[in-house]
Amino acid sequence: MRLFNQKETSDLRKASEKEAQKPGHSLEIFDFSGENAITVKDVDLYYGTFQALKKINMEMPKYKITAMIGPSGCGKSTLLKSLNRMNDLVEGCRVEGEITIGNVNVYEKGIDLSALRKNVGMVFQKPNPFPMSVYDNIAYGPRTFGIKKKGVLDEIVERSLKQAAMWEELKDRLNKSALGLSGGQQQRLCIARALAVGPQILLMDEPTSALDPISTGKIEDLCEELKNDVTIVMVTHNMQQAARISDKTAFFLLGEMIEMGDTEQIFSAPVHPETERYITGRFG
Amino acid sequence: MENTVTQRKQREHIPADKVKNGIAKYIFIVCACMSIIAVVGIIGYILYGSIPAFRQVGFFKFVFGTTWYPDGKKFGILPMLVNSLIVTAFSVALGGTIGVFTAIFLVFWCPDKLHLKYKGQNKFLAKLVAWLNKLNLRTVFDQVIKLLAGIPSIVYGLVGLQLLVPILSYLDTTPPYQGEGILASSILLAIMVIPTITSLSKNALEAVPEQYFEGALAMGNTKAQAVFRVVVPAARSGIISALILGTGRAIGEAMAVIWVSGNRALFPTGLFSNIRTLTVNIVMEMGYAELTLHRPALIATGFVLLIFVFIITLSLNLVPKNFKGKRGTMTLNGDSTAAVTYVKKGLLAEILKVIAIVCAVLVLAILAVIIVYLTIMGLSNLTASFFGPSSADVPTLFPALGATLELIAITLVIALPIGIGAAIFLVEYAKPGSKFVKIVRTFIDTLAGVPSIVFGLFGMIFFSGVLGLSYSVMAGALTMVLVVLPTIIRSTEEALIAVPVSFREASYGLGASKVRTIFRIVLPSAFPGIATASILAIGRIIGESAALIFTMGALYTFTGNPLDSSCSLAVLLYSCANEGYHMSEAYALAFILILLTFVLNLIVYFIQRQVKKKR
């Protein structure tokens, strides 16, 4: 069943732009009381005529780390980006099926993208702190959501940096440029920046692929800490990383989800032969 | 045996090649130094020409004197200085706002294509709509900006005099209710700085990494919020540079404001008070100034103007390139009791977005009005006598056209080799980042920022005076060489940089010398870029008037001898409209000038499209 053809998708974009003209409404439109934070049902995704995702079905449990693995071009990043609808930026991209987050179908007409992305934060492959001070980077999100009081902002900045385990490192350089930090610090700052708006879900798109092993370790430790408060979905090229930190692992190949299960099971007793061939390094 | 012969031959070859390479290198260095010589020469001769005024009036009394009354030997330029600064500030505030917002619209909201719908029966209209829908809007807008930039300043002056001032006169509540003065000058200059500011701001915005924009969207920003809160602040150093360059352009502009300022050397009292700027002072009085004191005083006016332009250009270097952050530490006083509720915001950003759209539409409208007005007035004034024979008091097209072509030919013959040589030195020989290169670049930028009228003063003193060329096409051409040199160097440089390094490596790999590689491989590949440079230079020559009035003269006749005086199309437009006796010729000339600008822009566009296709 085609839920969204191309024209409707562009209508959606228009709708969300219109939505933006009516500021002042609440952003808490999600209900995360259920067991699964994200449910993906029969999702097909096309870039123009190319089908990048084929009938994806998966459930991502709350307060767990779900890892998505697979060779390059298998669609795992594409799926990640459709969870917070960053794929809307790609011209000719069209999604069919249902992605339910916090009991709301995020591709429903008139959904507020600001509310979605406030609740579903994202960390990119390459650290992208804004060219501002450390403090302004963290305070950026809250400020755009109407927080002006210095006391409240201070509190949020301190809490977010502590949550990202970098308060001790950065408390004396809050007004220095964020671009002067090391790559690993920049990436953790981006995590802190995402946390500052209080997301329920954190999407991570190969967050450590541009980093050295020590910084990678720090971010992995941080993820273990964070899953007490947020649900994490992580795309990774690094199978050891998936095995080390994730609770659930999904294996993708050529736009299809081949297998998903508990991480231990996937890495010790995969059901599908392709999964086994990939995790034992015979292709990829 | 054979082997050793060829080896010997090669060995014999090397010294000759070495000499050739060495000589070529020095020639290129000399070309690169021409900008330095030009700037130093301009400063030196303008100062030299001003000394009689500074000596007799006194520097302090000259700059801070409040009365300008040449017949009474009173030379104080303070009112004109103040007027120049006020008009510049107003025009940059107005033109800068419109220019920056237009750039923001172009980068973020300009749709790729129109989506017009036509359901009527008219075949012509249906075809027109189909054609409009096919246009790439971004390209169209780029061309609009380039056309606005290419319209000669004297044409802006004519439009100001005949269209803007009459409109403004309805708002003018002070006698003589003519609409001239500060407001008219500021609006006209604002229109003139819009293209500069728009295109440079656009470059700055496009250079901001995409990931900042994505990062802001992923935080839950609307597109408008991401643009105005992250991307625009990230581009601020480029935008500030654009505004500074616009300021330099506005303060040095003479011909556009000459007829709309009101021409009274008094302090301003209101938006419609008639004023005279530094540049207007020079153009208006130079024609009848006596040589002992009045002329030096006018040259000194140019010297003061030049100092201001240099201060503006040098302040470009003070613009911080990166965000650095503040010193010291910051203490946080968190208020843990306050409740945090996030709500959707972004009304301000949406308002700014609407402003951006309005500004872009305004720019389109301005160009449309200018073109429609000049086309109607131009076509209705194209009379047979305009194409007929000329005499000393009958201005016609062909002498001016002939003089313009001769001017272009002489200028390019001199300027192209020097400019290309300088570009070759900068790209092929100089170590990037070396001190000498930095100095050369600073001087090229400085030369590019010198106002036309100052070039005119220098040409008048040096080429007409010192070299004894008096008023002649040759003196005008030599002056124009200096005017177009920065343009040629920069465009050629870009073209040379775009030639792949692998071409050079392949040539060296076959044993070719550096000079051979440059002339046989690099320059031919860069030919389209050099052609573009020439056309840009031709556009500049055709549109120039301030630099030519006092070097080439304003005779209506053309003998063909480069040592005789004559006048180019733009200067003819000036003299036709300035006296007011030949307005219909002025309109015809303005139309022809704008048509030429359009054609030249079109040629550049097609060359560049061809180059892009090949890659």
Q: Transcribe B200-236 into DSSP letters.
A: HHHHHHHTS-HHHHHHHHHTT--HHHHIIIIIHHHTH
CA-based radius of gyration for chain A:
19
CB of B340 closer than 8 Å to CB of A152: yes
Contact of B243 with chain A, judged by CB distance below 8 Å, is answered with no
Note the pLDDT of residue B115. Answer: 82
Beta bridge partners of A262: A248
Rama region for B263: left / alpha / beta (φ>0; ψ in -120 to 50; rest): left
Mean pLDDT of chain B: 90
pLDDT of A41 above 90: yes
* pLDDT for B328 beyond 80: no
What is the Cα–Cα distance from B316 to B323, expressed in whole angstroms? Answer: 16
Give the model's confidence band at A117: pLDDT under 50 very low, under 70 low, under 90 confident, else very high. Answer: very high
What is the rounded CA–CA span in Å between residue B395 and residue B571? 11
Residue A85 carries which DSSP code? T
Region A42-59 average pLDDT: 93
Cβ-defined contact of A140 to B233 (cutoff 8 Å): no
For residue B197, what pLDDT is reported? 96
Taking only the tens place, the pLDDT of each residue in B595-609 is 999 999 999 999 988
pLDDT of residue A256: 93
Rounded to an integer, what distance in angstroms lies between the CA atom of residue A6 and that of residue A229? Answer: 36
φ and ψ at A260, to 5 degrees? -140, 140
Residues 3-42 of A with CB under 8 A from B: 17, 20-27
- The residue that leads in pLDDT, A109 or B418, is B418
* Sequence-ordered list of residues with C-beta below 8 angstroms from that of B352, at least 6 positions apart, any chain: B101, B224, B228
Residue A159: which pLDDT band, with cuts at 50, 70 and 90? very high
Q: Which of A145, A170, A190, A205 to mutate to test the interface with B (most CBs of B within 10 A)?
A: A145
Whether residue B230 and residue A17 make contact (CB cut-off 8 A), yes or no, is no
Contact across the interface for B342 and A142, Cβ inside 8 Å? yes
Residue B614 has what pLDDT?
Answer: 75
Assign A21 a pLDDT band (cuts: 50, 70, 90): very low
Instruction: Categorize the per-residue pLDDT at B121 as very low, low, confident or very high, splitting at 50, 70 and 90.
Output: confident
Decide if pLDDT at A20 tops 70.
no
> How sure is the predictor about B20, in pLDDT bands with cuts at 50, 70 and 90?
confident
Q: What is the pLDDT of residues B536-590, one digit of tens each?
A: 999 999 999 999 999 998 888 888 889 898 999 999 999 999 888 889 999 999 9
- Read off the pTM: 0.89
> Is the pLDDT at B591 greater than 80, yes or no?
yes
- pLDDT of B156 above 70: yes
Separation in Å, CA of B232 to nearest CA in chain A: 11
pLDDT score recorded for residue A24: 66
Asked if the peptide bond before residue B176 counts as cis, ω within 30 degrees of 0, the response is yes
More confident residue, B180 or B419: B419
Q: Residue A208's closest CA among A184, A192, A178, A181?
A: A184
Cross-chain Cβ contact A86/B342 below 8 Å: no
φ, ψ dihedrals at A94, nearest 5° = -145, 135
What is the pLDDT confidence band of residue A247, given thresholds at 50, 70 and 90? very high
pLDDT of residue B615: 67
Q: Are B342 and A118 an interchain contact pair (Cβ–Cβ within 8 Å)?
A: yes
Q: In the prediction, which pLDDT does B380 show?
A: 92
pLDDT in tens, B445-460: 999 999 999 999 999 9
pLDDT score for B10? 52
pLDDT band at B385 (very low <50, low <70, confident <90, very high): confident
How far, in Å, CA of B357 to CA of A103, rounded? 38
Structure ipTM: 0.88
pLDDT for res A170:
92
In the three-class reduction of DSSP (H, G, I as helix; E, B as strand; rest coil), residue B170 is classed as coil
Provide φ and ψ at B69, rounded to 5°: -150, 85
Predicted pLDDT at B7:
54
- pLDDT value at residue B14: 56
pLDDT recorded at residue A10: 37
Whether the CB-CB separation of A135 and A166 falls below 8 Å is answered with no
Under the banding of pLDDT at 50, 70 and 90, the label for residue A203 is very high
**B553 to chain A nearest CA, in Å?**
54
CB contact under 8 A, B343 and A141: no
Q: Which chain A residues contact residue B347 at CB under 8 A?
A: 21, 23
The long-range contacts involving B427-434, CB below 8 angstroms and separated by at least 24 positions, are: B427/B493, B427/B496, B427/B497, B428/B28, B428/B496, B428/B514, B428/B518, B428/B522, B429/B25, B429/B28, B429/B29, B430/B32
Whether A177 contacts chain B with CB within 8 A: yes
| Percentage of chain A exceeding pLDDT 70 | 90
Residue A249 identity (one-letter amino acid):
T
Condensed to tens digits (0 to 9), the pLDDT of residues B492-544 reads 999 999 999 999 999 999 988 888 899 999 999 999 989 999 999 999 999 99
